[in-house]
């Protein structure tokens, strides 16, 4: 029997590697093993140097540090899949609501350019729920039109991370495009009949003393009028972990402090073996910006099934 060739992946706006870890697979979270996938990430790009350091430590040395406007020319000529969570600041309800006309969210055009250049079998783009708001209808329409114009069948769906074993009430949109010769993408079925509570996810860390190497460190910011001042509820999934909390990340459900960065990473479904190479504020940003690896793993499995079924059909 022929050994399956790896499915090559190009990753844009990679951050610290949450989405890429999900595509690679081969990790454990809360006692559940997420098998290694057939994806091989051959090129990645991120503008944040600290996030690149974390990515290299945990994912691989293939990530290129720099602005996508300058690194786009270094894209590989060939890859099977293009992935990326393009910046959402101008689309988020907590942002300026400028849509794709904003300076950051308009960068989705580089995902379009990558797809146009590489002509992958499939592309997967991730963004915030706000993309589906009526105020962003024109932006969503333009994004879909731009990808459709490249000859791809494009679909989008809102996913609730808690439905897939992530202990967090995080909702994100995934836009998937498949080439005409590829089996259409079928969204992964939900995998979690009962949501994982925040106590189940981080309860064992309550008695652990601060540990900077393990990122079990927390902000001592007092309660303020700014975002992120809610207290977690022990028997529910955690609130959405945000990138720009300015130290005002959620409070622990029982301890007199804010949650630690390791606790935030757990709520985002990062395995404990994933080590962040930065101080508290930057780690907070990396965790909040990331795609939950467990959710990404389920998306990756569905993508792999579509590509593999097409490969098998052509043998």
pLDDT per residue as tens digits for the range 252-300: 999 999 999 999 999 999 999 999 999 999 999 999 999 999 999 999 9
Region of poorest pLDDT, from 140-144, 207-211, 306-310: 306-310
Note if 245 is an active site residue: no
Average pLDDT, stretch 174-190? 95
Q: What is the CATH number of the domain that holds 174?
A: 3.40.50.150
CA distance 171 to 294: 14
Answer whether residue 73 is part of any domain. Answer: yes
Spatial CB neighbours of 265, under 8 Å, sequence gap ≥ 6: 215, 274, 276, 287
Q: Is the dihedral of CA 150, 155, 157, 161 positive or negative?
A: negative
Question: How confident is residue 88, by pLDDT bands cut at 50, 70 and 90?
Answer: low
pLDDT, residue 49, reads 98
Q: The tokens of 313 are what? A: 């059909």
Q: Which two tokens stand for residue 238?
A: 């955690």
**Which residue among 16, 88, 192, 310 is the active-site one?**
88
Decide if pLDDT at 222 tops 90. no
Q: Is the pTM of this model over 0.85?
A: yes
Question: Does residue 133 lie within any of the structural domains?
Answer: yes
How would residue 93 be classed by pLDDT, with cut points 50, 70 and 90? very low
| Domain membership of residue 179 as a residue range | 7-189+291-313
Whether residue 61 lies inside any domain: the answer is yes
Q: For residue 49, is it within any domain?
A: yes
Give the Cα separation of 138 and 121 in Å (integer).
Answer: 27
Establish if 176 belongs to a structural domain: yes
Q: Residue 180 pLDDT > 80, yes or no?
A: yes
For residue 92, what pLDDT is reported?
Answer: 46
> Per-residue DSSP letters for 276-300?
--S-HHHHHHHHHHSPPHHHHHHHH
Say if 126 falls within a structural domain.
yes
Nearest to 290 by CA among 40, 33, 51, 63: 51
DSSP conformation letters of 147-205:
HHTTT-EEEEEEEEGGGGT-SB--EEEEEEEE-TTSPPP-PPPP--SSPPPHHHHHGGG
Q: How confident is the model at residue 111 (pLDDT cuts 50, 70, 90)?
A: very high
Q: Is residue 250 in a domain? A: no
pLDDT at 91 > cutoff 50 = no
User: Mean pLDDT for the chain?
Assistant: 91
User: Does a structural domain hold residue 242?
Assistant: no
Q: Does the pLDDT at position 153 exceed 90?
A: yes
Number of domains in the chain: 1
Q: For 99, how many CA atoms within 13 A lie in the half-sphere containing its CB?
A: 13
């Amino acid at each position: 029997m022929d050994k399956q060739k790896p499915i090559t992946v190009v990753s844009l706006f990679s951050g610290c590697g949450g989405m890429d870890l999900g595509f690679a697979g081969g990790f454990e979270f809360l006692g559940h093993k997420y098998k290694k996938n057939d994806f091989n990430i051959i090129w990645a790009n991120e503008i944040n140097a600290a996030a690149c350091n974390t990515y290299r430590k945990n994912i691989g040395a293939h990530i290129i540090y720099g602005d996508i406007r300058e690194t786009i020319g270094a894209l590989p000529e060939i890859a099977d899949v293009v992935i990326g969570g393009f910046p959402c600041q101008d689309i988020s309800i907590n942002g300026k609501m400028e849509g794709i006309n904003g300076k950051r969210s308009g960068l989705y055009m580089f995902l379009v350019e990558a797809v146009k250049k590489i002509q992958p079998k499939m592309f997967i783009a991730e963004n915030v729920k706000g993309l589906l708001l009526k105020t962003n209808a024109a932006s969503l329409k333009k994004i879909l039109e731009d990808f459709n114009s490249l000859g791809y069948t494009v679909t989008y769906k809102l996913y609730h991370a808690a439905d897939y074993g992530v202990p967090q009430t995080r909702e994100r949109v995934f836009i998937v495009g498949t080439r005409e010769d590829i089996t259409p993408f079928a969204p992964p079925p939900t995998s979690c009949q009962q949501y994982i509570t925040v106590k189940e996810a981080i309860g064992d860390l309550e008695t652990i003393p601060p540990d900077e190497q393990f990122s079990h460190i927390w902000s001592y910011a007092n309660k303020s009028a700014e975002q992120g001042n809610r207290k977690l509820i022990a028997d529910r999934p955690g609130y959405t972990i945000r990138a720009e909390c300015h130290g005002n990340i959620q409070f622990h459900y029982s301890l007199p402090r804010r949650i630690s960065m390791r606790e935030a990473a757990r709520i985002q479904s990062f395995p404990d073996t994933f080590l962040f190479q930065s101080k508290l504020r930057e780690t907070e940003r990396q965790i909040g910006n990331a795609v939950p690896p467990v959710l990404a793993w389920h998306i990756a499995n569905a993508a792999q099934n579509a590509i593999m079924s097409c490969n098998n059909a052509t043998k």
